[in-house]
């Protein structure tokens, strides 16, 4: 390998990664991304790299800046070298010997692209010989040795036969269009998202309309527009609900939401919300309890076995085994998975509880700053606002959640059922004093030992009470004790109070 290599490629979000990301965003009450491409681009544009890091991005290498120092002569060899070096490369590239082969491969990819784990909108043709690439050179903005060939978008026209209004975990009500089944891009589609009611109005959609739908690898396709010239005059306006379709409580529409134009059911006892919340708790964004997917959770709720989160930990194997479609073995497995979910890390549990606006990233931040649930229950809005990355909406939502009687009751029940937070070894990994252990001897003059200790812990360091191999720094005040000689013997770094102040200040 040369000393320096400039590897080029594409950052990409797989369809499953995209769904997962949107599920997490929905759980946190955030606006959803329209497609994986936007989501990937948006992820890279983040100023806060921890947000980027939390997104399931992939990188596919396809080239290098300057290949002249490499002992290779073709694009194919370049890809092989990148793969051998450990980069992911797109596995679908082919060497085509003539244009007919190129066209055949184009059709092959166009037909099979929906089976790929990521979305593609076309392919890039490249001259394989690097010497020829060099001779061909580049125009102002693009090389002459590479050209993109795009597929046609997967669209279809069908009839909108109804609109369902679904209640999400945070009470947001979203419209979903029911369609006459139609094939789009290789799959039969009978439902399409309408995003929100403003979309319905903006597109002037009516029941009975023929609509143009487009599928771009999303969970459900979207309705682009009505085909107005196909209207027969018997189309009717879409009625927007004023009451929750699940619990019949009046819906509230507030301005200034992250998601615009959202009607919400604010009934804390709404059955639909509770079902979604339970599914979220057991699901991948929550404690990831194997065997307790949304469908199973629905079955448990319908059979009155589970009503709230603590009920999950009260399930007995014989209750499950008696349900339709269950056996002793599957019941046992799920009970074991539930028992295994009794020791979550704090961040996991916080994300699982489904506190409004609190997604995985916020949960991580909170776990880094608060050692326990008790600390979170005692914190006020100002304590949350001190954390870089937590805004007022999150802070107020946290206070509302932790100060509610229902929350305390639930947390007490969970504790009584054996739920314990497991210590998080990763905690504070990115903080400046992570992995460093401080020990004190002698008297400090500028601040108290407790203040110094608190500050060290805040920066991710640890404080020891006795000398051991684990100690990395001895802070030496006035009139040091026997620890000093011991530390010198063990070659531990010795700090004076002024050194410590410098470290803590920087």
Count of other CB atoms within 10 angstroms of residue 178: 15
Write out the binding residues for Zn ion, residues 245-274 only, by CB under 5 A: 246-247, 265, 267, 270
Are 58 and 88 in contact, with CB atoms under 8 Å apart? Answer: yes
Min dist CB 173 to Zn ion, Å, is 8
275 part of the interface to Zn ion, by CB under 5 A: no
Paired tokens of 438? 């401080």
* Nearest alpha-carbon partner for 120 in 10, 259, 264: 10
Long-range contact set of residues 267-274: C-beta below 8 Å, sequence gap at least 24:
267/171, 268/406, 270/167, 270/171, 270/244, 270/246, 271/246, 271/247, 271/301, 272/166, 272/167, 272/244, 272/245, 272/246, 272/247, 273/167, 273/168, 273/169, 273/170, 273/171, 273/246, 274/301, 274/307, 274/308
Q: Which residues pair with 475 in a beta bridge?
A: 440, 495
Min dist CB 163 to Zn ion, Å, is 18
How many residues belong to the site for Zn ion (CB under 5 A)?
6
Min dist CB 26 to Zn ion, Å, is 17
Min dist CB 244 to Zn ion, Å, is 3
Min dist CB 75 to Zn ion, Å, is 57
> Rounded to the nearest 5°, which phi and psi values hold at 316?
-110, 145
Min dist CB 278 to Zn ion, Å, is 15
Question: By C-beta, is 265 or 292 nearer to Zn ion?
Answer: 265
Question: By C-beta, is 243 or 342 nearer to Zn ion?
Answer: 243
> Rounded to the nearest 5°, which phi and psi values hold at 165?
-115, 120
Question: By C-beta, is 21 or 275 nearer to Zn ion?
Answer: 275
Min dist CB 28 to Zn ion, Å, is 20
Write out the binding residues for Zn ion, residues 133-172 only, by CB under 5 A: none
243 part of the interface to Zn ion, by CB under 5 A: no
* Nearest alpha-carbon partner for 419 in 320, 319, 340: 340
Question: By C-beta, is 184 or 251 nearer to Zn ion?
Answer: 251
Report the distance separating Cα 274 and Cα 263, nearest Å: 17
Options 126-134, 242-250, 432-440, 444-452: segment touching Zn ion (CB under 5 A): 242-250
Options 43-51, 243-251, 346-354, 447-455: segment touching Zn ion (CB under 5 A): 243-251
Min dist CB 398 to Zn ion, Å, is 23
Q: Is 341 exposed, middle or buried (0-12, 13-18, 19+ CB in 10 A)?
A: buried
Question: By C-beta, is 154 or 270 nearer to Zn ion?
Answer: 270
Options 240-248, 285-293, 344-352, 412-420: segment touching Zn ion (CB under 5 A): 240-248
Report the distance separating Cα 387 and Cα 366, nearest Å: 8
Per CB under 5 A, residues contacting Zn ion are 244, 246-247, 265, 267, 270
């Amino acid at each position: 390998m040369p000393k320096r290599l400039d590897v080029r490629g594409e950052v990409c979000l797989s369809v499953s990664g995209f769904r997962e990301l949107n599920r997490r965003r929905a759980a946190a009450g955030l606006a959803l991304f329209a497609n994986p491409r936007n989501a990937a681009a948006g992820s890279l544009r983040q100023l806060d790299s921890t947000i980027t890091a939390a997104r399931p991005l992939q990188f596919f290498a396809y080239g290098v800046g300057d290949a002249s120092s490499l002992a290779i002569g073709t694009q194919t060899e370049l890809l092989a070298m990148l793969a051998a070096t450990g980069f992911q490369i797109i596995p679908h590239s082919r060497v085509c010997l003539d244009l007919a082969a190129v066209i055949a491969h184009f059709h092959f990819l166009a037909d099979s692209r929906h089976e790929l784990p990521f979305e593609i909108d076309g392919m890039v043709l490249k001259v394989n010989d690097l010497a020829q690439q060099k001779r061909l050179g580049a125009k102002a903005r693009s090389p002459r040795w590479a050209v993109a060939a795009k597929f046609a978008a997967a669209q279809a026209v069908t009839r909108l036969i109804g609109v369902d209004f679904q209640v999400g975990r945070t009470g947001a009500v979203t419209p979903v269009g029911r369609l006459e089944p139609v094939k789009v891009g290789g799959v039969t589609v009978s439902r399409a998202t309408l995003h929100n009611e403003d979309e319905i109005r903006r597109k002037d959609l009516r029941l009975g309309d023929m609509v143009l739908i487009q599928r771009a690898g999303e969970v459900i396709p979207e309705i682009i527009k009505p085909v107005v010239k196909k209207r027969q005059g018997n189309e009717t306006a879409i009625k927007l609900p004023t009451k929750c379709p699940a619990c019949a409580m009046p819906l509230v529409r507030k301005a200034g939401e992250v998601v615009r134009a959202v009607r919400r059911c604010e009934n804390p006892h709404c059955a639909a919300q509770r079902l979604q919340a339970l599914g979220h708790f057991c699901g991948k964004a929550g404690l990831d309890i194997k065997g307790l997917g949304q469908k199973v959770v629905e079955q448990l709720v319908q059979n009155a076995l589970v009503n709230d989160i603590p009920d999950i930990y009260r399930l007995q194997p014989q209750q499950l085994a008696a349900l339709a479609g269950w056996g002793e073995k599957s019941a046992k497995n799920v009970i074991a998975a539930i028992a295994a979910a009794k020791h979550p890390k704090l961040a996991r549990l916080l994300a699982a509880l489904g506190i409004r606006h609190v997604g995985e990233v916020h949960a991580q931040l909170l776990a880094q700053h608060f050692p326990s649930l008790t600390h979170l229950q005692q914190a006020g809005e100002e304590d949350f606002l001190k954390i870089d990355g937590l805004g007022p909406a999150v802070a107020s939502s946290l206070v509302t959640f932790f100060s509610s009687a229902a929350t305390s009751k639930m947390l007490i029940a969970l504790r009584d059922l054996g739920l314990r937070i497991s210590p998080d070894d990763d905690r504070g990994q990115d903080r400046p004093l992570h992995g460093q252990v401080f020990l004190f001897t002698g008297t400090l003059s500028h601040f108290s030992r407790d203040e110094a200790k608190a500050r060290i812990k805040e920066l991710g360091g640890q404080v020891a009470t006795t000398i051991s191999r684990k100690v990395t720094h001895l802070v030496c005040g006035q009139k040091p004790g026997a620890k000093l000689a011991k530390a010198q013997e063990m070659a531990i770094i010795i700090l004076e109070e002024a050194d410590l102040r410098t470290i803590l200040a920087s």
